[in-house]
């Protein structure tokens, strides 16, 4: 006797059978997949991913995906393939800009990583292991992580990196991390461990870097010559400056702008030209190329007292 089993979805339309979670992920994938390409570099095995930021042919990927290679091919999910060239790369943010001579490209909608919350749904789209248009989903598992990067002799921390449990594999680097509305909030950059991935946040700082890479081929940063980390401020100082932490100087490079300005170990930087500094990311953000070669006011706490020092940053070079 054959037992008849009734499927719970018998008589139910496939669209109706999709739960809310599936509908969100499906919608994001359908919206964003046309804006994500598989990239292959000439003379190198393996592949990565890239995201269309501008329909006129500007794609963004991870700097480590392209390395020092200048050309390659970008293939989209509809089968179209274009030759690209690298117009700019910035290993210290792990971002690179590509340009293709293609028409009718679909640009991704961009979000703001600053609005993300732990536990929020995110969708990763890329080309892991060469499989184009692959989609994984998960949640933001942590925010505020740091990603160490290096260019030549210079090392830097990319601040506020997004940590997600959406599965990432080789080839996902340079692909999109999107929110539930299909807006790109991160560029996938690394696998941090089993079940954990990292993405460079898409925010005002990232867009500024990308714009400079497209227009100038590089992103310039001002250099002080200090190393440090966030430190809570004493109560009296905290009340005076209106913030709870600053960046404590733990090393001053000999002959650097900071050295010439008299900055010393254990100084706590709390501001640049009146802008607040509470963590290393604030300091890095405020040291853009526009401050190279001109005097800036550095507000520091020394021996419990607020002081103002004048510094002339040089250009950070690898």
Which residues belong to the active site? Answer: 64, 94, 173
Phi, psi of 70, deg, nearest 5:
-100, -15
* Residue listed under structure tokens 């990239």: 39
216 Cβ neighbours under 8 A, 6+ residues apart = 88
Tokens of 99: 């340009």
Cβ atoms of residues 233 and 301 within 8 Å: yes
Q: What burial class does residue 97 get, using C-beta atoms within 10 Å of its C-beta: 0-12 exposed, 13-18 middle, 19+ buried?
A: buried
H/E element, 41: strand 36-41
Phi, psi of 65, deg, nearest 5:
-70, -45
3-state SS, one letter per residue, for 196-259: EEEEEECCHHHHHHHHHHHHHCCCCEEECCEEEEEEECCHHHHHHHCCCEEEEEEEECCCCHHH
First to last CA, the chain: 76
Tokens of 102: 């293609």
């Amino acid at each position: 006797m054959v037992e008849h089993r009734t499927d719970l979805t018998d008589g139910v339309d496939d669209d109706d059978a999709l739960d809310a979670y599936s509908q969100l992920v499906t919608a994001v994938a359908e919206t964003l997949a046309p804006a994500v390409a598989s990239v292959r570099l000439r003379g190198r095995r393996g592949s990565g991913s890239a995201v269309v930021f501008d329909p006129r042919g500007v794609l963004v990927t991870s700097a480590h995906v392209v390395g020092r290679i200048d050309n390659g091919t970008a293939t989209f999910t509809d089968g179209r393939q274009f030759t690209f060239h690298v117009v700019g790369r910035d290993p210290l943010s792990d971002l690179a800009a590509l340009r293709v001579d293609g028409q009718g490209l679909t640009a991704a909608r961009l979000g703001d990583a600053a609005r993300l919350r732990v536990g929020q749904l995110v969708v990763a789209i890329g080309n892991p292991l060469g499989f184009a248009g692959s989609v994984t989903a998960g949640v933001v598992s942590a925010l505020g992580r740091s990603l160490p990067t290096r260019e030549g002799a210079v090392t830097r921390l990319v601040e506020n990196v997004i940590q997600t449990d959406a599965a990432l594999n080789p080839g996902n680097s340079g692909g999109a991390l999107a929110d539930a509305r299909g807006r790109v909030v991160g560029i996938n950059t690394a696998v941090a461990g089993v079940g954990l991935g990292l993405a460079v946040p898409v925010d005002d700082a990232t867009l500024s870097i990308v714009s400079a890479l497209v227009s100038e081929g590089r992103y310039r940063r001002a250099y002080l010559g200090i190393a440090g980390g966030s430190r809570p401020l004493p109560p009296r100082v905290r009340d005076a400056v209106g913030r709870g932490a600053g960046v404590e100087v733990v090393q001053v490079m000999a002959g650097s702008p900071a050295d010439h300005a008299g900055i010393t170990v254990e100084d706590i930087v709390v501001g640049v030209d009146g802008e607040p500094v509470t963590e290393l990311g604030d300091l890095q953000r405020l040291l853009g190329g526009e401050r190279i070669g001109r005097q800036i006011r550095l507000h520091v706490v020394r021996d419990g007292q607020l002081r103002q020092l004048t510094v002339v940053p040089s250009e950070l070079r690898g």
